[in-house]
Amino acid sequence: MSILSEFKEFAVKGNVVDLAVGVIIGAAFGKIVDSLVADIIMPVIGLVFGKLDFSNLYVVLGTAPAGVANTLADLKKAGVPVLAYGNFITVAVNFVILAFIIFMMVKQINKLRKSEEAAPAAPAATPEDITLLREIRDSLKRP
């Protein structure tokens, strides 16, 4: 078997395709969560803590050259070492929200699975040959 045919067989297996679909959906879901955090949750948190914007929280580790504005973007452009811990807070909040959403999804899926397992299965229909044999038996028992 050639390498090309082996690769083709590997690539079209269901697990590989399912994994690819999962990665694509995961990336799209990550963008949705990023937007949820950046556009909805962080402004509310900023409002609660006095219009705090986590993305602009930083500590300057070096000295800024003269004429450089004291903003995170300008300090980074100037090459000044900056510890931007606000971005870390944003990513950590994103992770917590994503983990909570996934937890709720898995919990709901497990709940649905349990309800499916708990539902009594319909009794299987008696095969035709068994039915015929029972009829023959019953007719032989009659005097």
Q: Give the C-alpha separation, 36 to 98, whole Å.
A: 10
Task: Give the architecture (CATH level 2) of 1-48.
Answer: Orthogonal Bundle (1.10)
Task: Provide Rg for the chain, Cα atoms.
Answer: 32
Note down pLDDT in tens along the chain; length 143 residues. 688 888 877 777 767 777 888 889 888 888 887 788 778 877 887 788 776 667 778 898 888 888 888 888 888 888 889 998 988 887 787 788 778 888 888 899 888 888 777 766 677 888 888 888 898 898 888 76
Q: Residue 44 is encoded by which pair of tokens?
A: 């509310």
- Confirm if 87 and 95 have CB atoms less than 8 A apart: no
pLDDT at residue 102, rounded to an integer: 80
> HSE of 60 in the Cβ direction (CA atoms, 13 Å)?
16
Q: What ranges do the domains of the chain cover?
A: 1-48, 53-143
